[in-house]
Structure 1
Amino acid sequence: MDYLKKTFRWFGPEFGVTLADIRQLGVEGIVAACQKVPLGEVWPVETIAALKSEIEAQGMEWSVVESVNIHTAIKYGLPERDLYIANYIQTLKNLAENGIYNVCYNFMQLIDWTRTDLDFVLPTGASVLRYSPISAAAFDLFILNRENAKGSYPEEAYTKAKAYFDGLSKEQKKKLEESILAGMPGSKKLIALEDFKANHAKVLKISKQQLQDNLSYFLNAIIPEAEKIGVRMAVHPDDPPFSVFGVPRIVSNYEEIKFLLECCPSPSNGLTFCSGSLGASANNDLVKIIDDFGDKIHFIHLRNVARSDDGSFYEADHLGGSVPMDKVMEAIIKQQHKRNENGNGIVRIPLRPDHGHVLLDDKKRQNEFYAGYSLIGRAIGLAQLSGLEKGVRLGLNI
């Protein structure tokens, strides 16, 4: 049985990593997007073809689109959402015309992920991404100044957040703000705080049920069209998988994944399994999610997180941390075996190492990378995961 298809995310040469660099790692495919097309507009066939040709010129394929981002009008259920849904469908058709059929997307509000420290230094000297609930609360309470935010925190958490914030220098407060406002992969431009505040105020008026209804509306509009052209849509889980700044989550656990897959049943309606996003909550049984929804997994992100009892986590070594990566890999390979036996789904599921430590020579060009997307750290992760996969296969004899 064939191995998982090894891929690597690429944002473009201006982010410190070239396609030639990636080619030396032995990967087959690139995970990329037409990032310069404005949000909500149709990706032109010519733009897609040009990026595909650029990738193929380096001997690799464009394996997965990550991401075709969703306009806020769709997420918030605004009257103009049908226009943006029509544009989205046309983009999918243009991708299929270029032979690209795997599309990762997310339905997260405000930003794509939230971290409070983009340069948390480990005892080894490598730096990683970290999330602290106290730091996040401090941002919410004293920088974002969310209305009635104090009432959403236990007294002890509020006291700790205030003491933490009061102890920060002006520069440290700015660093916290910038760390949170950097959560849009593929852009070096921080979200303006005032724009964040305005968007945040809108989101707070939308209930979790309404957000789920908006997701269902979107899926029931695009999935039938995607199925006709063979495009596989793969939703990425919310990161982190719990409410931040008072905003509800709708793709963060077993029941929410079940809802989105069942609201529009189709081979084209699937999941990006992200061990790091889901693994940031001890309540998520990652193996059960793979076992029960395995036939819907169209794309895989593997990374590890080290969780603490206080709700904080940092991005650990790919084979370290709190995620049982050996059990996760075993469950994925068993799912492959099942697909191989019944002919249902693609056996060579695309996989990429997600995020990586900043270490060695990458420290010299750290400012070039998008946070989490160093070259050497991800290369180490890919090597670790490849070795783990081979070892698990030998143990299973499949």
Structure 2
Amino acid sequence: MREGWRWFGPKDPVGLDAVQQTGATAVVSALHHVPTGTVWSPDEIALRKRQIQGPDNAPTGLDWAVVESLPVSEDIKRQSGDWRAHIQAWLESMRNLADAGIDIICYNFMPVLDWTRTDLDWRLAGGATCMRFDLVDFAAYDLFILRRAATDYPENVIAEAKSRFANMTQDRRDELAQIVGYGLPGAAEALSLDGVRSQLAQYDGIGPDRLRANLRDFLDCVIPQAQRLGVRLCCHPDDPPFPLLGLPRVMSTQDDYAALLAAVDVPENGITLCSGSLGARAENDLPAMMRKFGSRVHFLHLRNVRRETTGLPCSFHESGHLDGDVDMVDLVRAVLEEESRRRAEGRSDHSIPFRPDHGLHMLDDRARAGQPGYPLVGRHVGLAELRGIIAALSHNAA
């Protein structure tokens, strides 16, 4: 398993000197400043590679191994507006990345919001903080701040949300609206309430079947070029893995991934297996999913969650990497089993890149105001824990 680290570019408060000290070598990055739907130019890609690798007289030992993410525009997801031009830009960007030697591209097909939480700094018993999704708070946002005419909550959740909203301070209401509309990790903008309403309106009439068909059309356009270029594409799951705001979700379950892989059944059409995103849904058995889909898993996000309520949707928070509801030891065991099979088959991609996804904010992480969920110390602790599992299981196997 190849150790990776997400880096948001020169403005990331976790600098590459710190990344070097974590021991990770595979940098996961993107050109967040390039507007969605436009081409990633060879010059911009080359500049990011130079930033990561360092000058010739002082190389960092790091390389840009995975793109996360090459964004799929809302126009592509809806098949509206400039979607055909955006696909052409996506294809050209993929070609430019391949020419630069970068052959793993993560993307997602989530409508409007890249991830959704209600707290970015929720305090745990030991004093560290984490990101959290509270279903009642989210319903309060949806029903009484966004004022969507929602019918998809149980009556008890609606009643509790009404009471909670009535007792919220204006500061908390404003904070909640900002957090839910935070936007894409690494992006400069957050969606306003009017922006969210506008985006939701553009998905009127688009249900899961239509979105799934649009995803299939997207794959039909991009996978043939990925095959020619030797690029592996890997779709990230929904986060959280259940419908929100009346929007369709098509990457939330084992069946969703089986459908994705069957839609275009070639190795280049693959998976980003995110244990944290998928783990918020109790039916998702992550070790079993790894064993079922392992040959098509091109990239791993390893983090954990603790579900707080039953049923769907549910409340959950991001826990320590070994403390949540995902059996991380068995998941890593399944990854190592897959890598062993790949080596026996002579596959050049036998070492699967992973990154310690998110992390608890602890110790002096508060001094670095970076992307929510991406602290230095918390992720380093997670990486050390995962490194220990890998070492122990590899030792036993030997």
Same fold (TM over 0.5): yes
**C-alpha distance in 2 between matches for 1:309 and 1:152:** 17
- Asked whether the 8 Å contact 1:295–1:345 carries over to 2, the reply is no
1:87 aligns with 2:89: yes
Q: TM-score, normalised by structure 2?
A: 0.96
1:180-236: CA deviation from partner (whole Å, max 9, x where unpaired): 111410024321221111001222421110000000000010000011001100100
Q: Which residue number in structure 1 is paired with residue 376 of structure 2?
A: 375
> Identity over the aligned pairs, expressed in percent?
39
Counterpart code for 2:63: E
1:109-141: CA deviation from partner (whole Å, max 9, x where unpaired): 111100010010011111100001111111110
1:338 aligns with 2:341: yes
Q: Which residue number in structure 1 is paired with residue 281 of structure 2?
A: 281
Equivalent of 2:366 in 363, 367, 374:
363
- Shifted more, 258-267 versus 341-350: the winner is 341-350
1:314 aligns with 2:317: yes
Q: Which residue number in structure 1 is paired with residue 26 of structure 2?
A: 29
Q: Which residue number in structure 2 is paired with residue 167 of structure 1?
A: 167
Counterpart code for 2:46: A
**C-alpha distance in 2 between matches for 1:279 and 1:77:** 30
Q: Which residue number in structure 1 is paired with residue 270 of structure 2?
A: 270
Residue aligned with 1:103, SS: strand
Q: Which residue number in structure 2 is paired with residue 61 of structure 1?
A: 63
1:25, distance to aligned residue in structure 2 (A)? 1.0
1:314, distance to aligned residue in structure 2 (A)? 0.6
- Asked whether the 8 Å contact 1:188–1:370 carries over to 2, the reply is no
- Asked whether the 8 Å contact 2:279–2:286 carries over to 1, the reply is yes
Counterpart code for 1:317: G
Equivalent of 1:14 in 11, 14, 22:
11
- Shifted more, 262-271 versus 341-350: the winner is 341-350
Q: TM-score, normalised by structure 1?
A: 0.96
Residue aligned with 2:266, SS: coil
- Asked whether the 8 Å contact 1:103–1:232 carries over to 2, the reply is yes
**C-alpha distance in 1 between matches for 2:269 and 2:193:** 34
Q: Does the C-alpha gap of structure 1 residues 75 and 345 become closer, same or farther in structure 2, counting only changes over 3 Å?
A: farther
- Asked whether the 8 Å contact 1:116–1:132 carries over to 2, the reply is yes
Residue aligned with 1:318, SS: coil
**How is 1:90-129 mapped onto 2 (pairs within 5 angstroms)?**
90-129=92-131
Q: Which residue number in structure 2 is paired with residue 244 of structure 1?
A: 244
Aligned residues: 390
- Asked whether the 8 Å contact 1:137–1:245 carries over to 2, the reply is no
1:78, distance to aligned residue in structure 2 (A)? 1.4
**C-alpha distance in 1 between matches for 2:159 and 2:12:** 39
Q: Which residue number in structure 1 is paired with residue 227 of structure 2?
A: 227
**C-alpha distance in 2 between matches for 1:183 and 1:303:** 21
Q: What is the alpha-carbon root mean square deviation over aligned residues?
A: 1.2
1:142-167: CA deviation from partner (whole Å, max 9, x where unpaired): 111113x1x32221111011111111
Residue aligned with 1:260, SS: helix
- Asked whether the 8 Å contact 2:309–2:316 carries over to 1, the reply is no
1:35-88: CA deviation from partner (whole Å, max 9, x where unpaired): 111110010001000100111112211010000001111100115322111110
**C-alpha distance in 2 between matches for 1:300 and 1:15:** 22
- Asked whether the 8 Å contact 1:295–1:344 carries over to 2, the reply is no
1:203 aligns with 2:203: yes
- Asked whether the 8 Å contact 1:241–1:280 carries over to 2, the reply is yes
**C-alpha distance in 1 between matches for 2:216 and 2:158:** 36
Structure 2 unmatched runs, 5+: 55-59
Counterpart code for 2:240: P
**C-alpha distance in 2 between matches for 1:40 and 1:259:** 26
**How is 1:345-360 mapped onto 2 (pairs within 5 angstroms)?**
346-360=349-363
Structure 1 unmatched runs, 5+: none
- Asked whether the 8 Å contact 2:243–2:249 carries over to 1, the reply is yes
1:248-306: CA deviation from partner (whole Å, max 9, x where unpaired): 21000011111111111111100001000010010111122111110000000000001
- Asked whether the 8 Å contact 2:178–2:192 carries over to 1, the reply is no
Counterpart code for 1:173: R
- Asked whether the 8 Å contact 2:74–2:112 carries over to 1, the reply is no
Q: Which residue number in structure 1 is paired with residue 57 of structure 2?
A: none
Residue aligned with 1:64, SS: strand
**C-alpha distance in 1 between matches for 2:34 and 2:111:** 20
Residue aligned with 1:159, SS: helix
**How is 1:134-149 mapped onto 2 (pairs within 5 angstroms)?**
134-147=136-149, 149=150
